[in-house]
């Protein structure tokens, strides 16, 4: 697929690769079964999470939010005069990534950049997207379709535009608090909890626990830029058995403890670990956390996630330009240190070793 206006462009498409989510009541159970396939999770645990989706009409907002993100990326590509078509594929629900890969091959795509909707290291945040890429290529080969070379774009947890976008949402949330509450409001960041063993394996052996380290670093950058002297980093959406240690404290437990033992009346809660306001965000933070905070008379203003912002789309195109030009946060081989590789290979030996949690399925995306 050669673009006549840019015949020397080294890539001929961008694939936005995401988790996926149901778009109606009939989709919920098949979607959850896709997410949890092979993990031996009993039916009654799926029932619990299924109710979260039915509470919101059986529809995850994730696909619509990703389409909004893609529209912003397309507008930014056009603004910079980069003629790169954008495709959309999911791991767990339609449009499925394998189906999208088939369409791409049929339309002449032979080299594609892949933007995964996660900023972080770790198995679920990074390596599983490499596995998705490998699966797409295997699907094409099994169908006798033309091969597509795919390069996953690097992690972006500390990208200035990601920080800028998050600061914007934090500042807007703080401004919604009563004026008298704003000076003393706490800043609480939250991200998806994972087992401690998985966090320890989220980098190479020399830099383990990369997932929590990256999140904490991003929190430091955002807090400083927003003028907060301190912040709390907590976790949410734990889904494993009680005997397996996960990253703590849980956000609801943390707010309850603050309310009981400290002079605490207002907080800005920033779900920095998530790019979109999907089911885990709106259920865990806008429902469970708000109900808990109300019991103690604590005001919680939840900052929106950043994936819908033009600043975020500008960051994605910055990352695209890194790969198009070879200029940016890349190694001498033109591949970023963390998260970027070709054709589904891990970006480093023993990096983000697969460790799938067991127990209750995540309420997911």
CA nearest neighbour of 201 among 115, 151, 92, 126: 126
* Domain 160-302 sits in CATH 3.40.50.1400: yes
* Domain 13-156+309-325 sits in CATH 3.40.50.1400: yes
CA distances from 51 to 32, 44, 54, 56, 288 (A): 11, 11, 5, 9, 14
Is 265 annotated in a binding site? The answer is: no
Q: Where are the domains positioned within the chain?
A: 13-156+309-325, 160-302
Rounded Cα gap, residues 154 and 340, in angstroms: 4
What secondary structure letter does DSSP report for 289? Answer: I
Is 192 annotated in a binding site? The answer is: yes
Is 118 annotated in a binding site? The answer is: no
Rounded Cα gap, residues 132 and 289, in angstroms: 33
* Residue 312: strand, helix, or coil: helix
In tens digits, the chain (365 residues) has pLDDT values of 444 445 567 999 999 999 999 899 999 898 888 888 877 777 887 888 888 889 889 888 899 999 999 999 999 999 999 999 999 999 999 999 999 999 999 999 999 999 999 999 999 999 999 999 999 999 999 999 999 999 999 999 999 999 999 999 999 999 999 999 999 999 999 999 999 999 999 987 777 899 999 999 999 999 999 999 999 999 999 877 789 999 999 999 999 999 999 889 999 999 999 999 988 999 999 999 999 999 999 999 999 999 999 999 999 999 999 999 876 554 443 444 589 899 999 888 888 887 654 444 444 44
Rounded Cα gap, residues 233 and 249, in angstroms: 8
Is 292 annotated in a binding site? The answer is: no
């Amino acid at each position: 697929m050669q673009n006549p206006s840019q015949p020397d462009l080294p890539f001929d498409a961008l694939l936005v690769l995401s988790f996926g989510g149901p778009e109606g009541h009939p989709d919920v159970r098949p979607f959850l079964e896709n997410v949890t396939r092979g993990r031996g999770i009993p039916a009654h645990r799926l029932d619990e999470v299924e109710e979260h989706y039915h509470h919101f009409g059986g529809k995850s907002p994730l696909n619509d939010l990703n389409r909004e993100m893609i529209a912003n990326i397309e507008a930014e590509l056009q603004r910079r005069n980069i003629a790169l078509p954008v495709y959309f594929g999911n791991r767990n629900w339609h449009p499925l990534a394998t189906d999208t890969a088939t369409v791409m091959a049929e339309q002449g795509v032979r080299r594609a950049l892949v933007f995964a909707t996660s900023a972080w290291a770790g198995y679920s945040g990074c390596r599983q997207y490499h596995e998705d890429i490998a699966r797409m290529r295997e699907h094409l080969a099994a169908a006798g379709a033309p091969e597509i070379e795919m390069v996953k774009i690097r992690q972006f947890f500390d990208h200035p535009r990601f920080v800028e976008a998050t600061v914007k949402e934090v500042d807007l949330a703080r401004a919604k608090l009563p004026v008298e509450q704003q000076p003393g409001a706490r800043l609480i960041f939250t991200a998806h909890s994972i087992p401690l063993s998985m966090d320890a394996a989220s980098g190479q052996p020399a830099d383990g626990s990369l997932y929590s380290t990256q999140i904490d670093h991003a929190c430091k950058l955002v807090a400083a830029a927003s003028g907060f002297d301190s912040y709390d980093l907590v976790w949410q959406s734990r889904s494993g058995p009680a005997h397996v240690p996960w990253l703590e404290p849980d956000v609801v437990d943390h707010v309850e403890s603050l309310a009981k033992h400290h002079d605490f009346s207002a907080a800005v809660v920033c779900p920095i670990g998530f790019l979109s306001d999907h089911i885990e965000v709106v259920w865990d933070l806008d429902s469970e956390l708000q109900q808990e905070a109300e019991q103690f008379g604590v005001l919680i203003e939840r900052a929106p996630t950043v994936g819908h912002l033009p600043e975020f789309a500008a960051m994605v195109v910055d990352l695209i330009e890194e790969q198009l030009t070879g200029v940016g946060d890349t190694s001498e081989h033109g591949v970023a240190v963390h998260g970027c590789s070709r054709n589904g290979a891990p970006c480093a030996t023993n990096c983000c070793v697969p460790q799938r949690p067991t127990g209750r399925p995540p309420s997911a995306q």
